[in-house]
Amino acid sequence: MRTRLVAVLIAVTLALTGCAAAGPSSPATTPSMAASRATPTPTPAPTPAPLLTIGVEGLQLVTGGDTRTLAFDDPEAILAFIEDATGVPRAGEDFEDPWGNGDVWGTLFTWDDIRVSVLKDGPATVTLSGSTVGDIPVTTASGIAVGDSRDAVVAAGGWDEWDADGDGRADHLGIDGQDVAGTQSLTRPGSVGRMFVSVSLDGDIVTGLQSPSNDFSDL
């Protein structure tokens, strides 16, 4: 009898010791806790706003982070872009030589604030009198846009090019110049000619941008 009692006491003691050794169990990790320790997802960089730049060799279009160049040597690409941006189909009219000989030199395409003249089998010249093409803002490579001031053009590197009315203040400035080897400037004697974006002003306010322009041709 005594032997059984001892055996029972030993069994109870071992059982209690086992429970104490095991101790309380650690709480299981829940999905919400794991998610809170996860690395945050980086915020995507904002997509740049659309922008059209008028330069010496063509137009540069940036949309959705992509850049596309529309060369003046490819008039069809420029005309198609303007049609798409404005939603207005092209309407062209032939233009003749400036001496009145009746020779057709090319075609002039006109929208509200946009003119594109295309020489026969030649490049296009783009003239903008508004600050946008469709909904896309337009600037020069140096950041000048229609509506800016004369001082802003000069601060961006612009220079006097032509005083059309002879009042002593240039009505046309040049900006973003690019020298053209083998030419001679007609406005800067002894200097190599250059191509540039022509900036038209009414008083001291920019009213138009035209490219390509140059100072080595009288046309």
Domain assignment present for residue 76? The answer is yes
Q: Looking at this protein, which amino acid is placed at residue 59?
A: L
pLDDT class of 189 with cuts at 50, 70, 90: very high
* Cα separations in angstroms, 105 against 75, 121, 177, 178: 15, 10, 26, 26
Q: Which residue has the higher pLDDT, 132 or 43?
A: 132
pLDDT tens digits for range 118-157: 999 889 999 999 999 999 999 999 999 999 999 999 999 9
Domain assignment present for residue 10? The answer is no
Q: Specify the pLDDT at position 15.
A: 43
pLDDT greater than 60 at residue 62: yes
Helix residue ranges per DSSP H, 70-215: 75-86, 150-155
Domain assignment present for residue 107? The answer is yes
Q: Specify the pLDDT at position 7.
A: 39
> Residue for token digits 């400035």?
173
pLDDT greater than 90 at residue 92: yes
What the block records as the tokens of 1 is 């009898």
pLDDT greater than 90 at residue 44: no
Q: What sign does the dihedral 182-144-55-109 (CA atoms) show?
A: negative
Region of poorest pLDDT, from 1-10, 44-53, 152-161? 1-10
Q: Specify the pLDDT at position 1.
A: 41
Domain assignment present for residue 122? The answer is yes
pLDDT greater than 70 at residue 41: yes
Domain assignment present for residue 22? The answer is no
> Residue for token digits 């109870």?
12
The domain containing residue 119 runs over which residues?
51-214
Q: Specify the pLDDT at position 12.
A: 38
107 Cβ contact list (under 8 Å, min separation 6): 92, 93, 94, 95, 117, 118
Domain assignment present for residue 28? The answer is no
pLDDT greater than 90 at residue 176: yes
* Mean pLDDT for the stretch of residues 195-215: 98
Give the total number of structural domains in the chain.
1
The answer to pTM > 0.85 is no
Domain assignment present for residue 19? The answer is no
Q: Specify the pLDDT at position 31.
A: 54
pLDDT greater than 50 at residue 66: yes
* Mean pLDDT for the stretch of residues 57-72: 95
* Mean pLDDT for the stretch of residues 73-95: 96
Domain assignment present for residue 17? The answer is no
Can you tell me the distance from the alpha carbon of 169 to that of 62, in angstroms, rounded to the nearest whole number?
A: 35
Q: Specify the pLDDT at position 36.
A: 54
3 Cβ contact list (under 8 Å, min separation 6): none
